A and B are shown apart, each in its own frame.
Chain A
Amino acid sequence: MKVVFSTSGNTLDAPLDRRFGRASNFLVYDTETESFTVVDNRQNLNASQGAGIQAAQTVAGTGAKHLVTGHCGPKAFRVLNTAGIAIYTTDAATVADALRQFLSGELKTTGAADVDSHWV
């Protein structure tokens, strides 16, 4: 099973980026092989609009069906939901902490966007 984390770095120790659309990277963790790859999302850092939509499409492209992030806005939610991706929000400090929470079943899926458009 693949799980995607929004992060500002590219290791498990890196901070979990609370922002979904404008996170620098997505860390894609494979629970079967216990390994990960990193997908660049920096093209969205300066997007004037639609960063969440583009980021959601990128996450969908990884084939993962689980996303762990800080917050998710309405447009990203619509894309992720359509792609059948479950969204989990957390205030964990690092990707490793968030991964631990995810694996222990502490995180609940969110059924709706938890912030408005253009939430920073």
Chain B
Amino acid sequence: MILAVASGKGGTGKTTVSVNLARVAGRHVQLLDCDVEEPNAHLFLRGVLQRREEICVPVPQVDASLCTGCGECSGFCRYHAIASLESGALTFPELCHGCGGCSLVCPEKAITETGHRIGVVETSEADGITLIQGRLDIGVAMAPPLIRAAKSFLDEGAPAILDAPPGTSCPVIAAISDAHLVILVTEPTPFGLHDLKLAVDMVRELKIPAGVVINRVGLGDDRVHAFCREQGIPVLLEIPDDRKIAEAYSRGELAVDALPAYHAHFENLLFRSRELYRAIRSEHHADLRI
């Protein structure tokens, strides 16, 4: 089962939920840090690095002796990563999304593809947790290809927890797109509710079942609870606004290690997530039978 942890708003506790879930999930769990612009799960797990691979995206390389400056390539590229001038084509690898379209449409076959490094994927082992993290190079703007590359390192036979980047844009879609269930982490504040609504719209569009974890319960108001009730979205766990969690976090400790009472809460979250996924799957099968 692939369990993704996402949120609309940043700073709601995705990483807290992800690393604590991974710890209670037992041996042979994979934790994938998809927040490749600032991966931070490693701060809590301190694993031993096993493997580091460079990730490249294909970018166009123009053979100036063949290019006629016809403009087919630049007309095709919606990202404006290539400009056509009389003197030939100019490429901007930092804008290229690596689709390969320019090389297909070039009538002179002047464009070939070459690798442009965007970052690394690092795998480390920490007490039975395999941490896979993407790390985007400084100055690189495109996270999705690196997120997809990091996901390709997953062993499909073992359970996986995906820590998604914040927001609802392309990097998040790339992270959660083939998850079986998404846990949306939010907080009971107007901002938390606003971005939770966006995140709920996103998972519905992607047709991925979701449950909610409400973090820092005790601050703000009850509108997030009311929204989940109205929308029929199960609240899988409520984490109180507990200073002790923040203190443990600031020392780089897991809540389930530093505060044993939370161990059972996160085990329960894992249990309820699996139950929710099973229930939805059997409902789906029942629909198919009808």
Known A-B contacts A75-B92, A78-B90, A82-B90; A53 and B85 likewise in contact (beta carbons under 8 Å)? no
Name the interface size band of chain A. Answer: 10 to 19
Q: How many residues of B contact A (CB 8 A)?
A: 12
**Sample of 16 further A-B pairs with CB below 8 A, known A53-B92, A54-B74, A57-B74:** A47-B80, A48-B79, A49-B80, A49-B95, A50-B95, A51-B80, A53-B81, A54-B83, A60-B85, A75-B95, A79-B83, A79-B85, A79-B90, A82-B87, A82-B90, A83-B85
> What secondary structure prevails in chain A residues at the interface with B?
helix
Chain B neighbourhood of A78, CB < 8 A: 90
**A56 interface hit (Cβ, 8 Å):** yes
What 8 A-B pairs come out closest when comparing CB atoms?
A50-B80, A53-B80, A57-B83, A54-B80, A79-B83, A83-B85, A53-B83, A50-B95
Closest B residue, CB atoms, query A84: B87
CB distance from A32 to the nearest CB of B (A): 22
B interface residues with partner A (beta carbon < 8 Å) = 74, 79-81, 83-87, 90, 92, 95
Closest A residue, CB atoms, query B88: A82
Closest A residue, CB atoms, query B81: A50
Q: How far is the CA of A48 from the CA of B81 in the complex (A)?
A: 12
Chain A neighbourhood of B84, CB < 8 A: 57
Closest A residue, CB atoms, query B77: A50
Closest B residue, CB atoms, query A52: B80
Chain B neighbourhood of A48, CB < 8 A: 79
Q: How far is the CA of A2 from the CA of B191 in the complex (A)?
A: 53
Q: Name B79's contact: one of A49, A56, A82, A83 (CB within 8 Å).
A: A49
A57 touching B85, Cβ below 8 Å: yes
Chain A neighbourhood of B95, CB < 8 A: 49-50, 53, 75
CB distance from B173 to the nearest CB of A (A): 15
CB distance from B60 to the nearest CB of A (A): 14
Interface centre among B81, B90, B92 (most CB of A within 10 A): B90
Chain B neighbourhood of A53, CB < 8 A: 80-81, 83, 90, 92, 95
Interface centre among A49, A60, A75, A79 (most CB of B within 10 A): A49
Q: How far is the CA of A22 from the CA of B271 in the complex (A)?
A: 52
Chain B neighbourhood of A56, CB < 8 A: 83
CB distance from B91 to the nearest CB of A (A): 10
